[in-house]
Every structure is written in structure tokens, then in C-alpha cells.
Amino acid sequence: MVRRLVQLYVGLGLYGLSTAMFIRSDLGVDPWDVFHLGVAIQTGMSIGTVIILTGAAVLLLWIPLRQLPGLGTISNVICIGLAADASMALIPELTSLPVRITLLVSGIVVNALATGMYIGAGFGAGPRDGLMTGIHARLGWSIRSVRTAIEVTVLIVGYLLGGSVWRWNRTVCINHRPADPALFAVVSPETAHSESSTAGADCLILRSAHRL
């Protein structure tokens, strides 16, 4: 239990760090962070505050989907935003393109590791992943289709709010996903699938979801 708790909170902290790395690289963030940045621009709130409030709002969407939050779900809502703000304060704005590219690539690796750690700990999916699994369960759509629909929607809304969309956004979205199953196998070998595709990660996300 202690090991799993440490794994959960280290994973959430690293996820917040990876978010700050993407933002400071100024080369691309994932679709949800395009949305977070857009809201932050419009409201003047810190990125971490927006992440927390968005997570709480998404959690409300679990109610009609009859999803149950776990400790990891609630911790996800709070800890990632706090870690993102702390990391933003520590990582300066960068001007050197090679350094920014290095930060982006490092962020992809850290993000994949963090995702494997906090989901592999087995304390429940994050609010955004739970929304995905809830829609999958209710409508019968494939996880890939639901993920794509959600991420395209938040990307467009985030862009309209002023969030930056780069060609690297596609790199961020695609490149860390294939790494997730391998990392799940390391951090949660008792539950992870061995497939080297997105399907393995999605299966573990489904297993981490709680339903009424």
C-alpha cells in the first residue's frame, strides 16, 4: 500500500512537471493543455489553478455516467495543478530552440512515465480518463474514438480561447502514447498488458475506472 501511494503521488508530481516542461518549451502541449492555456489567458488564472478547476468540472460529468472516483481521481484533480504551478515557477522561459526541443522531448518521456505510475498505482483513473471510459461504457464507442473526439473538442475550444496550437502538438499527443504500455508493464506488472500499442494503456485505464 505504501509503495503504491508513493507511486501515485510521485507520478502525479511528475505529470505536473511534464505539463510545465511542455509549456516552457513553447513548442506544443497536449489538447487538454491547449484548453487550460486558453482558459488561463482569458481569466488571468495560473495554469495550475485552471487544471484544478477543469478537473473538478470534468469530475461532475462523471455523475450521469455513473462513474465512481477513487483516491487517485481526487488526488489527480489537486496534485497535478499544484505541481504544474510549482514547476512553472522553477523552469524559466527559454529562447534557445535546441534547449526548447530538448525540453519538449524530455517532457514527453516524463509524461509517459508519470501516466504509467499514477494509473499503475491502481487508485482510480484521473477525471479526464474517467470521462473517456464512462462515455465508452455508456455509448459503446471504442476508447480510441472517444479519446479522439474529446481531445479534438478541447483542442478546438482551447484554440478559440487563445491557446497555442503548434505542429508539435501532434508530436506530443502521438509520441507518448505508444510508450505508455511499456511503462505500465514496469510500474504495474501485475495488471499491465504487454502490447506495444495504445491499446495496452487503454486497457489499464479501463481497469482503473470505478463504476456504480
For the chain, state the CA radius of gyration. 16
> Mind listing the pLDDT tens digit for each residue in 14-55?
999 999 999 999 988 889 999 999 999 999 999 999 999 999
More confident residue, 82 or 202: 82
> Which range, of 6-10, 31-35, 55-59, 187-191, averages the lowest pLDDT?
187-191
- What is the distance, to the nearest Å, from the Cα of residue 26 to the centroid of all Cα atoms in its chain? 18
- Given a cut of 90, whether residue 182 has pLDDT beyond it is no
Residue-range definition of the domain harbouring residue 183 = 2-211
Q: What is the pLDDT of residues 118-160, one digit of tens each?
A: 988 989 889 998 999 899 989 999 988 999 999 999 999 999 9
Residue type, 57: A
pLDDT of res. 187:
46
pLDDT bucket at 206, cuts 50 / 70 / 90: low
- For the four alpha carbons of 53, 84, 45 and 36, in that order, the dihedral sign comes to negative
| First vs last C-alpha separation in the chain | 24
Higher per-residue confidence, 67 vs 168 = 67
Q: How many domains does the chain have?
A: 1
- Mean pLDDT of the residues in the chain: 83
Percent of the chain with pLDDT over 70: 78
H/E stretch holding 67 reads strand 67-68
Q: What is the pLDDT of residues 34-45, one digit of tens each?
A: 999 999 999 999
Question: Is 90 exceeded by the pLDDT of residue 174?
Answer: no
